[in-house]
Chain A
Amino acid sequence: MFQIRIHGRGGQGVVTAAELIAIAAFNDGKHSQAFPSFGVERTGAPIEAYARIDNKPIRTREHVYKPNVLIIQDATLLGVIDVAHGADKNTIVIVNTAKPESQVKELGINLPGKNIHLIDATKIALEIIGKNLANTVILGAFAKTTSLVSFKSLEKAIKQKFGEKGEEIVNKNIKAIEKAYNF
Chain B
Amino acid sequence: MKQILEGSRAIALTIKNIRPAVISAYPITPQTHIVEDLAKFKADGEADYEYVRAESEFAAASIVEGASGAGVRVYTATSSQGLLLMTEVVYNIAGMRLPVVMTCANRGVSAPITIWNDQQDVMTVRDAGWILLFAENHQEAVDQHIMAYKIAELLNLPVMVNVDGFVLTHTYDSVIVPDAKQIKKYLPDYKPEKGTYLDPDNPVTLGAFASPAHYMEIRQELHQDLIASADVIKKEYENYHKIIKTADGKQIKNQKSKIKNLTFNIDNGLVEYYGAINPDIIIIAMGSVVGTIKDVIDKNENAGVLKIKCFRPFPADEILKTIKNAKYIAVLDKSISLGEMGPLASDIKAAAQGKTKAKIQSFIAGLGGRDITGEMIEKIIKEVKRGDDKVKFIAN
Contacts and interface: CB of A to CB of B under 8 A. Distances in A.
A35 B167 contact: yes
Nearest to B7: A35
Interface stretch (A26-34, A76-84, A119-127, A140-148): A26-34
B314 to A, nearest CB: 25
Interface in A12-29: 18-19, 22-23, 26
A10 B373 CA distance: 25
A33 B172 CA distance: 5
A183 interface: no
Interface stretch (A58-66, A90-98, A102-110): A58-66
B186 to A, nearest CB: 24
Interface stretch (B93-101, B194-202, B288-296, B345-353): B288-296
B75 interface: no
Given A59-B291, A60-B292, A65 B373 contact: yes
B171 A35 contact: yes
B120 to A, nearest CB: 16
A31 B374 CA distance: 20
Contacts of B115: 40
B395 to A, nearest CB: 14
A23 B5 CA distance: 9
Contacts of B4: 22-23, 26, 32
A59 B289 contact: no
B171 A33 contact: yes
Interface residues of B, number: 25
Nearest to B296: A60
B354 to A, nearest CB: 35
Contacts, number: 58
A165 to B, nearest CB: 15
What does DSSP make chain A's interface, helix, strand, loop or mixed?
mixed
A35 B166 contact: yes
A32 B174 contact: yes
Interface string B260-289: 000000000000000000000000000011
A75 B336 CA distance: 41
Contacts of A60: 291-292, 295, 374
Contacts of B374: 60, 62
Interface in A30-50: 31-36, 38, 40
Contacts of A31: 174
Contacts of A35: 166-167, 170-172
B172 A19 contact: yes
A63 B295 CA distance: 14
A40 B166 CA distance: 12
B372 A61 contact: yes
Given A62-B371, A63-B371, A34 B172 contact: yes
A23 B171 CA distance: 12
B315 interface: no
B294 to A, nearest CB: 5
A99 to B, nearest CB: 32
Interface in B207-265: none
